[in-house]
Chain A
Amino acid sequence: MASDFSAIIFFWLPGIALVTCVFYSLLKKNEVDKRRGVIGAFVCLILVLLSPWTLSESDSSAFGHLIGVLIGPLVLILLGMYNIIFSIQPGTFQIAKDERTQGQIMLLFGILWLFAYHWIGYTPSYDGEVNRYWIIFFTTMLILSPLLFFAFAVLVSILGHERKNVSWLMGLIGFIAFQVLVITMVLDGSSVSSLDFSQHLAVSLLEIIGYGIGFLLAAIVFSGIVSVYEKSLPMMAQLEPPNQEELKYAREVIKLHLEGGFEDE
């Protein structure tokens, strides 16, 4: 019981507060409120990151460990993306080439860092075994990335105008990402065998499908409730059609506007 209480205090409360603070800072327009949200989120993130030490006996802290090991590669990926996206000057077609190159290098290193966790070493391990949330994270990312690039390729080829090169590029990146996925099923990682990893991939795939179905069901219930309440709302009071006097007044106003307004203007 003491362990459950500690888990609530040291992991779940900061975790829930972290998500709440992030949404708070995103939704508030006032700068002071935004800053409060960011500071709150930062403090909660620190508490979640400390959970492997403050809550070492609980399984939940493995997730805090995952966040900790992902901070490095994720910061590189996000900074890289920021540099790539904002390397073009706003309102112009001028590109800061240095920033773009730096962004591409950061992105590449961020992704390679994640792959290094799997193949080269330092696989995130917690409590004497590979962190199970790391496996979920990595397998899901490997499954979704090629799909996303293939989807972009298909959408651009049908909906894009003179964007064949983009479509081919997205298809090529998707193909490379898919090859990486296949290689993980063939080559053993530093801590996980290819056979085990394949099984984790299958489980993650089923989970992704399950999450999709579950959310779809929730959305169906949601839309059902909204449509029931929309139908139950009383009709708005219908206005009477305009009478002759009102129509005559409207005609005069329109005529005045067409002729250039009132004389005193």
Chain B
Amino acid sequence: MNSLDVKKALSLLFLLVLAYFFLVFSLADNINEATSKIYERRFWNAILTSFIIGSFMLLLTLVMYAESRRIRLPPAVGMLVSGGVGALLMLWLLPSLDVQLLEGNGTPLAQLLSNVLRYSATLLAALVSLIIGFGLFYSAMLPSKANIDWPSHREEE
């Protein structure tokens, strides 16, 4: 395995993800005026929710980074501001700019909490897929039957 192989693999992986998403979306969608509004709202809600949660998760990393560098809190404050800006954008600016993010929830806060739960459900599904995927992959990489040519460590001793 050399660096060229790794680059080739990553490029192919990127193309695969793009092609797969395009294929699934073209099979699944039935775009009309009503659904396109739903798609737009969900897409923007997803970006903002992920940005806010991602910022707060990375904030914890930055606190540890700041401790290790003995530069106290400024980086963490930076990330906190970043997450806060995302939350403000979602709660106040985008709804006021007529980018419709509310979906049947009475208030922006209710929408934010609903988004966090949707995010959690997606994360849970991704986790289950990863467990099944890695488990089956690992299982496939193991020898399918006991190899008697390979003595165990106990036998060697």
CB-CB nearest in chain A for B1: A159
Rounded to whole angstroms, the CA-CA distance of A201 and B129 in the bound complex is: 16
Contact with B along A203-227 (1 / 0, CB 8 A): 1111111111111011101100110
A9 within 8 A of B: no
Distance from B141 Cβ to chain A, minimum over Cβ atoms (Å): 6
Q: Do A209 and B126 contact each other (CB < 8 Å), given the known contacts A95-B142, A214-B49, A218-B82?
A: no
Q: Is the interface of B mostly helix, strand, loop or mixed?
A: helix
Considering the complex, which residues of chain B in the window 56-106 have a beta carbon less than 8 Å from any beta carbon of chain A? 57-58, 61-62, 65, 69, 71, 74-75, 78-79, 82-83
List the A side residues contacting B126 at CB < 8 Å.
Answer: 140, 144
* A interface size (C-beta, 8 A): 84
Contact yes or no, B75 A205, CB < 8 A: no
Mask: chain A, 162-177; 1 = CB below 8 Å from B; 0 = not: 0100100110010000
Q: Which residues of B contact A215 (CB under 8 A)?
A: 50-51, 54
Of A76-84, A115-123, A241-249, A253-261, the one contacting chain B is A76-84
Whether A137 is near chain B, meaning CB under 8 Å from some CB there, is yes
Taking CB atoms, residues of chain B closer than 8 Å to A139 are 125
Pairwise interchain contact B46-A198, C-beta atoms closer than 8 A: no
Cβ-defined contact, A198 with B17, below 8 A? no
Verify if A239 is at the interface (C-beta below 8 Å from B). no
Who on chain A is nearest to B114 by CB?
Answer: A59
Assess the B47–A214 pair: CB atoms within 8 A.
yes
Q: Of residues B8, B20, B50, which shows the largest number of chain A Cβ atoms within 10 Å of its Cβ? A: B50
Q: Is A185 interfacial (CB-CB < 8 Å)?
A: yes
Assess whether A144 is in contact with B129, with CB atoms less than 8 Å apart.
Answer: yes
**A54 to B152 CA separation, bound complex (whole angstroms):** 55
- At the interface, yes or no: A235 with Cβ under 8 Å from chain B? no
Give, as a whole number of angstroms, the nearest-CB distance from B63 to chain A: 12
In the assembled complex, the CB of B55 is this many whole angstroms from the nearest CB of chain A, namely: 5
Q: Are A202 and B140 in contact (CB under 8 A)?
A: no
Task: Determine whether the beta carbon of B146 is less than 8 Å from that of A85.
Answer: no
A155 contact set on B, CB distance < 8 A:
9, 13
Chain B residue contacts of A152, Cβ below 8 A: 133, 137
Residues of chain A within 8 A of B43, CB atoms compared: 206-207, 209-210
A149–B132 alpha-carbon span in the complex (Å): 10
List residues of chain A with CB within 8 A of the CB of B119.
211
Asked whether A95 and B146 contact (CB < 8 A) given A89-B152, A107-B132, A136-B121, the answer is: yes
Query: Which among B38, B62, B133 has the greatest number of chain A C-beta atoms within 10 A?
Result: B133
A192 on interface, CB distance cutoff 8 Å: no
Q: Choose among B69, B83, B142 the residue that contacts A233 (Cβ–Cβ < 8 A).
A: B69
Give 1 or 0 for each of B27-46: 1 = CB within 8 Å of chain A CB. 11110000100110011111
Determine whether the beta carbon of A60 is less than 8 Å from that of B117: yes
Q: Are A94 and B135 in contact (CB under 8 A)?
A: no
Q: By the criterion CB–CB under 8 Å, are B153 and A84 in contact?
A: no
> Is A63 touching B120 in the complex (CB atoms < 8 A)?
yes
Chain A residue with Cβ nearest B145:
A95
Contact A202 B29 (CB under 8 A): yes
Which residues of the partner chain B approach A62 to less than 8 Å between Cβ atoms?
Answer: 117
